[in-house]
Amino acid sequence: MDSQTAEHTAQLPQVTEPRNPGMALDLDWVANVQANTSAIERRAASLPGRRSVKKDYQAAWLLKAITLIDLTTLSGDDTVGRVRRLCAKARQPVRPELLDALGVDGITTGAVCVYHDMIAPAVQALHGSGIPVAAVSTGFPAGLSPFHLRLAEIEESVKAGAKEIDIVISRRHVLTQNWQALYDEMKAFRAACGDAHVKAILATGELGTLRNVARASLICMMAGADFIKTSTGKESVNATLPVSLVMIRAIRDYFDRTGYRIGYKPAGGISKAKDSLVYLSLIKEELGDRWLMPDLFRFGASSLLGDIERQLEHHVTGAYSAGYRHAMA
């Protein structure tokens, strides 16, 4: 990534993409999807060492990464106060004096992601900012509650003001190769979301094989998903580079076949600034600059922002600060 690339990416205009309407289930296409695990792992292993950005260029890419974060709190001890503080961080993710030193203004995160009960305080705290609220739904994280309750949960979250709904698929449909059931489920979730965009969480760490990941990605896009997302963050294995490569190539294939761009969200385990740079380079190389915008790419993270802010302070001052200077909430 050179300086011209970073500058161009930072200045890309916001474009409203036509929403993916989905398509009829094409089982022949699904059956032809394969995954060469050894080749995928070799390609993924090469990424961290192939692209390196330093100094001003690194700062530019880290600022870009901030705008792509779904700042998230999904804890059983969440409170209204914590959510309000997190929303304040979303509005002002980097200390003003650092932004002044970098010559940057108006940086916000891509969204704030919460459980259903925290939607109302998040919407209130973000009023006027343009930052959407995303809500996890459908019996998150296991997705094993009764189906009618999962649909009702989506509808209640949309009614409460969530503009994005992160749903979890039924992993058993993938593990038993019941593609019709997965398609029907995803289609029903999409319909329940109405105008709210839907992110399909595949829980890739529980799908067994990269081929299953590829086929599940394709099925969810066929059923109308606006985004496909790796993980809930609650599995033992969350976002990885091999899984990401498989999913974004499925996105590329779907775009080539249908003309509709689907978003991608790696979530869970991405906590270091240097990791975000690797993911951004992967997206740029495999999908292109258009996907480096918040409507098509998000990081599902919270601690990532703190490390990015520390790296930006180091860039400005030459010294690393203590983590408590960059609290999330």
Is 265 tagged catalytic? yes
97 to each of 88, 108, 270, how far by Cα in Å?
16, 15, 26
Task: Give the DSSP letter string of 291-312.
Answer: GSSTTTB-EEESHHHHHHHHHH
**Number of residues in the chain:** 329
Question: Which of the following is catalytic: 64, 89, 166, 187?
Answer: 166
Question: Which of the following is catalytic: 70, 265, 275, 307?
Answer: 265
CA dist 32 and 254 (Å) reads 13
Angle between helices 241-258 and 37-50 (to 10 degrees): 100
Question: Which of the following is catalytic: 199, 229, 275, 307?
Answer: 229
- Which two structure tokens, joined as six digits, stand for 118? 């925290």
User: What phi and psi, each to the nearest 5 degrees, are found at residue 292?
Assistant: -90, 40
| 62 DSSP assignment | H
Q: Say if CB 200 and CB 171 are below 8 A apart.
A: no
User: What phi and psi, each to the nearest 5 degrees, are found at residue 216?
Assistant: -65, -40
CA dist 248 and 283 (Å) reads 8
Bridge partners (DSSP) listed for residue 134: 113, 164
Q: Dihedral sign for Cα 106, 164, 304, 37, please.
A: negative
| 99 contact partners, CB below 8 Å, separation of at least 6 | 105, 107
Task: Give the DSSP letter string of 157-205.
Answer: HHHHT-SEEEEE--HHHHHTT-HHHHHHHHHHHHHHHTTSEEEEE--GG
Bridge partners (DSSP) listed for residue 71: 112, 301
User: What phi and psi, each to the nearest 5 degrees, are found at residue 8?
Assistant: -65, -45
Q: Which residues are catalytic?
A: 166, 229, 265
